């Protein structure tokens, strides 16, 4: 049986013995996770959620993480986004060891390197769609006119140019999730993370969001890691990994694996 580490590694090209071995650089890893452990402590008890997890995701890949509720999918995504810290182990994003970054460097990492789409959109209800999308650029000091122009361009990409002046609170759930996707991508992050992005939507809107994420992945050459219980979303990935007993093993979009 293959170990989880072997399975999630990048396939090594096989060549015949007579061939001259030429070093082939593997596709650049956007994410490399080594021996990741996360233990939550509450009082005297411990919950070991991630237990020596390894993961390598190459540029341009779209990876789905599946597994039952409580398996640790959100915990893993939060650590990849530097929103939480591992108990032990190493996380590299584009070759940088997140554990070695200062607080200021981590803030810059979150603002520039990762885009995050949550199950609930977390938009600012009283701000317009355009302002919500522009927020990551405004936070880093981009001039307002430039940030709003970029936001309009992304709202067009997600099919919401007509709604750009609506306040986020006036939009439907599916529209709000489109705004959240535009906001996650406006700063051109190296990595898009999505935690149950269709979890709060009806089947029709969930399918539309799944299609949109796939379309954006291709047109913008994204690297995407998403956690989902939705088979339609999982099937659209290049790889499905199941989080089981704290490690990642090869998974499928079968209902019983999606939790």
Q: Which residues bind ligand ATP (CB under 6 A)?
A: 40, 42, 47, 49, 67, 69-75, 259
Nearest distance from residue 228's CB to ligand ATP, in Å? 9
Nearest distance from residue 48's CB to ligand ATP, in Å? 9
> Which residue, chain included where needed, has tokens 């122009």?
149
Query: What is the footprint of Mg ion within residues 57-76 (CB under 5 A)?
Result: 73-74
Residue placing its CB nearer to Mg ion in the complex, 186 or 241: 241
Nearest distance from residue 75's CB to ligand ATP, in Å? 3
The Cα–Cα gap between 115 and 179 comes to 13
Residue placing its CB nearer to ligand ATP in the complex, 119 or 128: 119
Residue placing its CB nearer to ligand ATP in the complex, 74 or 237: 74
Sign for the CA dihedral angle at 127, 129, 131, 137 comes to positive
Q: Per DSSP, what are the bridge partners of residue 66?
A: 242
Residue placing its CB nearer to ligand ATP in the complex, 75 or 132: 75
Q: Render the burial of 125-156: b for 16+ CB within 10 Å, e for the rest.
A: eeebbbbbbbbbbeeeebeeeebbebbbebbe
Nearest distance from residue 74's CB to ligand ATP, in Å? 3
Residue 122, phi-psi category: left (phi > 0), alpha (psi -120 to 50), beta (remainder)? left
- 198 binding partner (options ligand ATP, Mg ion, none; Cβ < 5 to 8 Å by kind): none
Q: Which of 92, 89, 72 is nearest to 28 (CA)?
A: 92
Nearest distance from residue 254's CB to ligand ATP, in Å? 16
Residue placing its CB nearer to Mg ion in the complex, 38 or 73: 73
3-state SS assignment for residue 63: strand
CA 100 to chain centre: 21
- 40 binding partner (options Mg ion, ligand ATP, none; Cβ < 5 to 8 Å by kind): ligand ATP
Binding site for Mg ion (CB under 5 A): 73-74
């Amino acid at each position: 049986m293959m170990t989880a580490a072997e399975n999630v590694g990048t396939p090594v090209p096989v060549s015949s013995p007579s061939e001259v071995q030429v070093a082939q650089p593997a596709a650049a890893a956007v994410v490399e996770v080594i021996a990741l452990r996360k233990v939550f402590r509450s009082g005297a008890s411990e919950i070991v959620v991630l237990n020596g997890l390894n993961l390598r995701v190459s540029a341009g890949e779209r990876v789905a993480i599946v597994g039952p509720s409580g398996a640790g999918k959100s915990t893993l995504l939060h650590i990849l986004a530097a929103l939480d810290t591992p108990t032990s182990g190493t996380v590299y994003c584009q070759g940088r060891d997140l554990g070695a970054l200062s607080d200021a460097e981590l803030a810059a990492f979150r603002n520039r390197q990762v885009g995050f789409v949550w199950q609930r959109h977390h938009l600012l209800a009283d701000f317009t769609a355009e302002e919500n999308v522009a927020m990551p650029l405004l936070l880093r000091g981009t001039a307002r006119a430039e940030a709003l122009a970029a936001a309009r361009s992304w709202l067009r990409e997600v099919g919401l140019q007509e709604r750009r002046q609506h306040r986020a609170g006036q939009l439907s759930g599916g529209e709000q999730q489109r705004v959240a996707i535009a906001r996650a991508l406006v700063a051109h992050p190296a990595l898009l993370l999505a935690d149950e992005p269709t979890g709060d939507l009806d089947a029709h809107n969930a399918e539309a969001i799944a299609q949109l994420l796939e379309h954006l992945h291709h047109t913008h050459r994204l690297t995407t890691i998403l956690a989902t219980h939705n088979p339609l979303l999982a099937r659209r990935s290049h790889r499905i990994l199941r989080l089981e007993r704290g490690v990642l093993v090869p998974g499928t979009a079968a209902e019983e694996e999606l939790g």
